Structure 1
Amino acid sequence: MPVPSKERVIALLSDLIHAKGFDLEDVNVVSAGKHSAVKVMVDREEGIDLDALPALSRDISEVFDGVSDFGEAPYILEVTTPGIDRPLTEERHWRRARGRAVRIELADEKVDGRVGVLADGVLTLVTRTKGVLATRSVALTDVVKAVVQVEFSRPKADEMELAGGVVDGRPAPADSDAIVNVEEPEEGVDK
């Protein structure tokens, strides 16, 4: 019997994953004869440490072992986090990306900047043009596509200050004497 559909896997795992404090970001099911695979992507506000994914993987395996959907066919289970190339599509993605460099595609332009505070569906984007810092409000409904950019050096403190401060767990800016750390709001609480 082949592995179940993406929809069935989501139905099987949604409650468990949310109960463990994660968001279910995506599921990918590949049926390929003897080498079927189920890839489950999760994330959470506070990030994911090295011990969290193996524990969650064991819990997911127990759920799969408790149903007949998989039959006797072997499969590979991969529990992972979305990569840096994941498009920013949900408000929680934007919150988690605060302080990171991003490329945003709007209907008529592409804009590079640093993700700032998100409030009521409007993002503060910090931009630097010819050395001059500015902020720009961008409605998430206007975003066609957005992806976090890879940075090879730490951000400047002035950019991070305009972006709303350094989020706990992130590296301090290169000139960190000029900025303070901020705490993330609790789930569902806007700053």
Structure 2
Amino acid sequence: MPVPSKERVIELLADPVEREGYDLEDVVVTAAGKHSLVRVMLDSDAGLELDEVARLSHVIAEIFDATNDFGETPYTLEVTSPGIDRPLTAERHWRRAQGRKALVDLDGESVTARIGRLDDGVVDLVVKDGREFAVRRVELQDVKKAVVQVEFSRPDARELDLAGGVPEGRVAPADADASDDVNEEVEGFDK
């Protein structure tokens, strides 16, 4: 018996994952000869910590073990969060990406902007207008595609302030404070 379809895996996991406080973002089922891969992508407003990945892997494996859908077919279960390159398609994606820089394709133009507050289907985009920052309100229905960009430098404080900051529990873009914490720990480490 082959590994169940993506639709069947979603059917099995949607409710239990929601009860655990997570969104089932995507499922990828890849048949690879006698051994298959089932990749389950989860997210929440607070993100997905490594300890939670391990715990949720056990929860999901138990759900799979309790069904006959897998039979004796060997498979690898991979539980992960969506990558940074995931398109922003749902309001929750925009809300979770607040404070991040994104490439946003609109009708006839592409804008690189910092994602701001989301309110009733309208998102604030902080764009650079000459030497100043300006807030541009865009209806989500007018967005053709949007993808968060990788940042290597700390954002301008004014720009981040106009975006409304970063949601609680989310990592700030190019968070330099994290490297300061690591340096403090290393300095206190006995060699």
Normalising by structure 1, we get a TM-score of: 0.88
Q: After superposition, where does 1:117-132 map in structure 2 within 5 Å?
A: 117-132=117-132
Q: How does 1:43-58 map to 2 (within 5 A)?
A: 43-58=43-58
Structure 2 residue identity aligned to 1:71: G
The separation in 1 between residues aligned to 2:151 and 2:83, in whole angstroms, is 14
For residues 19-168 of structure 1, the aligned pairs below 5 Å read 19-168=19-168
1:174 offset after TM fit, Å?
8.2
TM-score by length of 2: 0.88
Contact persistence 2:35–2:74 (CA under 8 A): yes
1:172–1:145 distance in 2 versus 1, CA, 3 Å:
closer
Q: Among all aligned residue pairs of Structure 1 and Structure 2, give the percentage whose two residues are the same amino acid.
A: 57
CA contact (8 A) 1:157 1:175 kept: no
Q: Cα 1:7–1:154, aligned 2, differ >3 Å: closer, same or farther?
A: same
What secondary structure, in the 3-state scheme, does the structure 2 residue paired with 1:33 have? coil
Which consecutive residues of structure 2, in runs of 5 or more, have no partner in the other structure? Answer: 178-191
CA contact (8 A) 1:156 1:174 kept: no
| Larger fraction in helix | 2
The structure with higher relative contact order (CA 8 Å, sep 6+) is: 2
Deviation of 1:46 after TM superposition, in Å, equals: 0.8
**Aligned equivalent of 2:18:** 18
Q: Which runs of 5+ in 1 are unaligned?
A: 177-191
> How many Å separate the matches in 2 of 1:81 and 1:106?
27
The answer to whether structure 1 residue 171 and structure 2 residue 186 are counterparts is no
Equivalenced residue count is 176
Q: CA RMSD in A?
A: 1.8
Task: Return the letter of the residue paired with 1:56.
Answer: L
